[in-house]
Structure 1
């Protein structure tokens, strides 16, 4: 296995996720998940299956990025097996002028991805806010 090539492929999936969020493309966003994927939102709502993820995303994504530019950066990849990886991501939001939107805070999602028919897919995912120290 060429680990760097696999990491690059995983980074492309995360970039596609960022693009779908930025452009509010619900179908593109949902297509990145396995059919039986699970997703826990930043607010702790559990979504099971691509249908539930699509229904939720159709409610929250349109209009959500009107004044925001999301940024997703892969910070660590742990290969559990050659076809399964835990992917840690740094999630930030910027204004249309490029300034950080600090009131939204940062996210630190964990994506467990699996390689299906040569394509990395989001499989078991937890979107978590970074705790703000008092």
Structure 2
């Protein structure tokens, strides 16, 4: 059974991820992933392995995402065993002011590795479409998510 310490350790990985992003430190960012991790972006790119994730972020941090900050909000943590956690959350990048509504839905799968450290084994990022959500919720009210966010 997971402990409060496990929950804190998983949350600490995500906090470290945000800190690495905000410092534009691709190496620190990459170290938070397993060697064989997968990383699906909201545009559909699939990076495979820590090296691929690290190098793609090195390019992003010096180019397209230069000077951005990362906002992350944990919606829930579910343990699937003593060494596996699935984190549901919302996130977004920004430059000056943190957005009030985070525009992406994210899923992290973390595992506790042999060295006792929790690392991200899989990450999936999906862009929210608030207008499409609102339309679908209005047309089919049964689609509103459990949190009631419309």
- Structure 1 residue runs of 5 or longer lacking an equivalent are none
- Work out whether residues 71 and 93 of structure 1, in 8 Å CA contact, stay in contact via their aligned partners in 2: yes
State the distance in 2 between where 1:133 and 1:15 align.
30
Q: Structure 1-normalised TM-score?
A: 0.86
The 1:84/1:55 distance shift into structure 2, 3 A limit, reads same
Q: Structure 2-normalised TM-score?
A: 0.77
RMSD, aligned α-carbons? 2.0
Select the structure that is richer in helix.
2
- Structure 2 residue runs of 5 or longer lacking an equivalent are 133-150
- Work out whether residues 107 and 128 of structure 1, in 8 Å CA contact, stay in contact via their aligned partners in 2: yes
Q: Which has the larger radius of gyration?
A: 2
Relative contact order higher in (CA < 8 Å, ≥ 6 apart) = 1
- Work out whether residues 37 and 120 of structure 2, in 8 Å CA contact, stay in contact via their aligned partners in 1: yes
Spell out structure 1 runs of 4+ moving beyond 4 A. none
State the distance in 2 between where 1:112 and 1:19 align.
19
State the distance in 1 between where 2:122 and 2:95 align.
29
